[in-house]
């Protein structure tokens, strides 16, 4: 059994689950400026109040897998991108404090609203810039503190903010009633168009900027083998746009948005595999010794079902629409 490949797939799974689950609650913070009334914002907060902290467990789990199974990649990424990683963590902490204090405060609630928006926006933007820097192929271990910052990484940071905001709109359609649904659907349709344009730009830019990705997608028959990924992305985008029109369907838009995320993530993995740090470290070069990977297995087999079970149980318990009379959901 190829343990390095197993942990690579596990890391990818954890990152994907985190992006989907924490994506919509980060997106809610990004959407705050478009929902002015305190009642609407209270409703948005209640919709995630019992799940948002559990969503971030997947970020911790992914970080542990990267640290334990791929220490060379962990060291390279952390040393090169410590500024956006630090800012991301500050943003997550900031929004967590704002989330808790907002429920308790009265006069300072607008201040905590701004803090929640700022923390969500900063955390999301930093995640996007980290992704962009990895795809572009920043040299790990270089001494330039701002080597990760480029037009491409800035664009991917903004792109992820748009993607998370779209996911949040679909989540609100699924969890809300009345005016919030109508406003979320209207805003979501605009974001679908913006995101589809962004996906085209990022895809073409990546093909130009990264030689390995270009070769993976365009050499020989590869393009035809991989063509279903962009075609499915276009299909999900069209279905999402259609289902947000008029009286939007309750649940389909959210799952179509998740499908878009999965297609984008699959395209990223296909383009970068087997590299963890492009041009430098493959997953086998970055992996820990087999003895260490075997030692980690019992912990993985214990904690992965616990985290997964807790996540499924939490969403099952708090499924359905959020009612305005519910306190903290």
Low-confidence stretches of the chain (pLDDT beneath 50): 325-326, 328-329
Q: Name the β-bridge partners of 277.
A: 281
CA atoms within a 13 Å half-sphere pointing along the CA-CB vector of 261 = 28
In total, the chain counts a number of residues equal to 329
What pLDDT shows up at residue 215? 82
What pLDDT shows up at residue 165? 96
CATH class of the domain comprising 3-173+186-317: mainly alpha
Cα 143 to Cα 130: distance, rounded to the nearest angstrom: 17
Contact 180, 40 (CB under 8 A): yes
Close Cβ partners of 193 (under 8 Å, ≥ 6 residues apart)? 241
Contact 126, 149 (CB under 8 A): no
Cα 174 to Cα 251: distance, rounded to the nearest angstrom: 5
Cα 274 to Cα 97: distance, rounded to the nearest angstrom: 38
What pLDDT shows up at residue 104? 76
The span from the first CA to the last CA of the chain, in angstroms, equals 45
What pLDDT shows up at residue 97? 87
Exposed/middle/buried for 316, CB within 10 Å: 0-12, 13-18, 19+?
A: exposed
What pLDDT shows up at residue 259? 94
What pLDDT shows up at residue 315? 85
What pLDDT shows up at residue 142? 56
Sign of CA dihedral 216, 217, 223, 226: positive
């Amino acid at each position: 059994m190829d343990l390095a490949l197993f942990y690579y797939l596990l890391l990818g799974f954890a990152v994907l689950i985190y992006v989907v689950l924490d994506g919509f609650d980060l997106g809610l913070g990004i959407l705050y400026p478009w929902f002015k009334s305190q009642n609407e914002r209270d409703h948005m907060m209640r919709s995630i109040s019992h799940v948002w902290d559990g969503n971030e467990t997947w970020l911790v789990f992914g970080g542990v897998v990267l640290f334990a199974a791929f220490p060379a990649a962990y060291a390279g990424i952390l040393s090169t991108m410590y500024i956006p990683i630090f800012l991301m963590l500050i943003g997550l902490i900031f929004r967590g404090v704002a989330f808790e204090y907002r429920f308790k405060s009265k006069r300072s609630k607008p201040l905590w609203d701004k803090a929640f928006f700022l923390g969500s926006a900063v955390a999301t933007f930093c995640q996007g810039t980290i992704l962009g820097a990895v795809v572009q192929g920043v040299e790990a271990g270089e001494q330039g503190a701002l080597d990760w910052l480029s037009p491409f990484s800035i664009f991917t940071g903004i792109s992820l903010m748009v993607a998370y905001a779209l996911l949040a709109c679909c989540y609100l359609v699924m969890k809300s009633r009345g005016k919030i649904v109508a406003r979320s659907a209207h805003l979501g349709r605009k974001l679908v168009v913006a995101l589809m344009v962004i996906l085209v730009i990022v895809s073409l830019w990546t093909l130009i900027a990264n030689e390995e990705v270009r070769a993976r997608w365009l050499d020989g028959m590869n393009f035809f083998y991989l063509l279903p990924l962009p075609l499915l992305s276009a299909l999900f985008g069209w279905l999402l746009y259609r289902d947000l029109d008029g009286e939007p369907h309750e649940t389909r838009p959210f799952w179509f948005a998740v499908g878009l995320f999965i297609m984008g993530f699959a395209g990223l993995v296909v383009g970068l595999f087997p590299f963890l740090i492009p041009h430098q470290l493959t997953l086998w070069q970055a992996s820990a010794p087999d003895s260490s990977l075997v030692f980690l297995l019992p912990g993985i087999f214990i904690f992965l079902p616990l985290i997964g079970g807790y996540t499924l149980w939490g969403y099952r318990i708090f499924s359905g629409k959020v009612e305005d009379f519910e306190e903290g959901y």
